[in-house]
Amino acid sequence: MGKILLLLALLISAHARAAPSLEIIFEERIPYVSEQGESISGIVATPLINALQAAKITYSLQSKPSNRHLHEIQANLTPLCAVGWFKNPQREAFAKFTRPLYHDKPMGVLVRRDDTAIHQIKDLDTLLQQQGMKLLSKASYSYGSVLDAKLAQYQVKRHDVSVDNVTSLTLIAKKRGDYLFISQEEAALLLVEHPEREQLEVLEIAGMPEGSSRYLICSQMVDDEVIAALNAQIP
């Protein structure tokens, strides 16, 4: 009887060690990710939580600034994933990705209403060639492979910041940058209540690439079986 109990204990212990478990890090970014008590929801977060639960994967949630996400993924110290990142070749070199959680609409260009010069520009390539105009961009941020390539091609003058988009809108209003790229989904919500909303607007210009997909990006320590289990549950 004692041997049977010992065997059962060993089996239970082995099962516990084998059970998929990982840390999910996120930064609140409405409408993509919204903190809801001890969980998260949103157009990116909800499909992820549903997939984790359907796949019966144990996980923990941790709110962290987005400028730490890629550093921790690349460090590869623990099984770790971050919510809602774009895929590009540089990131694929050190990370794993699930299937897309959401596909964005094409980006808009947020500008000051009184900036007459930028309102005369009708297409993306012309905008990016303006050496006298500065793009306000988030540090370590990717706008998708097509737009990233154009930014490099035209050697666009940038002011990189490590702040959320609410603060970024304020920086545009205060002329810390001339324009920023922003998703239409996010802009529609931010401009409703932002203190400087009367000074700002979002332009749709020709040549803007189709919206990019947002993924769960994971460290190499996350088992392929975990990625496969999530993929099977992501719509």
- What is the arithmetic mean of pLDDT over 80-98? 95
Domains of the chain by residue range: 20-103+213-231, 107-203
The tokens of 60 are what? 């923990």
75 near 25, Cβ under 8 Å?
no
Q: Give the pLDDT band (50/70/90) at residue 176.
A: very high
* Nearest-angstrom CA–CA distance, 128 and 22: 40
CATH code for the part of the protein at 107-203: 3.40.190.10
Segment 144-166, tens digit of pLDDT: 889 999 999 999 999 999 888 89
Whether cis (ω within 30° of 0) applies to the bond prior to 31 is: yes
Inform me whether the pLDDT recorded for 28 exceeds 70: yes
Chain centroid to CA 71: how far? 14
Inform me whether the pLDDT recorded for 13 exceeds 50: no
* Nearest-angstrom CA–CA distance, 47 and 61: 15
Homologous superfamily assigned to 20-103+213-231: Periplasmic binding protein-like II (3.40.190.10)
Segment 201-224, tens digit of pLDDT: 999 999 999 998 999 999 999 999
pTM exceeding 0.85: no
- What is the arithmetic mean of pLDDT over 106-126? 96
pLDDT of 8:
42
How many helices (H) and strands (E) in the chain? 10, 13
Cβ neighbours for 26, distance < 8 A, ≥ 6 positions apart: 33, 40, 45, 61, 62, 63, 64, 82, 83, 84
pLDDT of 151:
96
Cβ neighbours for 60, distance < 8 A, ≥ 6 positions apart: 22, 23, 24
Q: Give the pLDDT band (50/70/90) at residue 4.
A: very low
pLDDT of 144:
84
pLDDT of 220:
98
Matching fold, domains 20-103+213-231 and 107-203: yes
To the nearest whole number, what is the mean pLDDT of the chain? 91
- What is the arithmetic mean of pLDDT over 167-173? 96
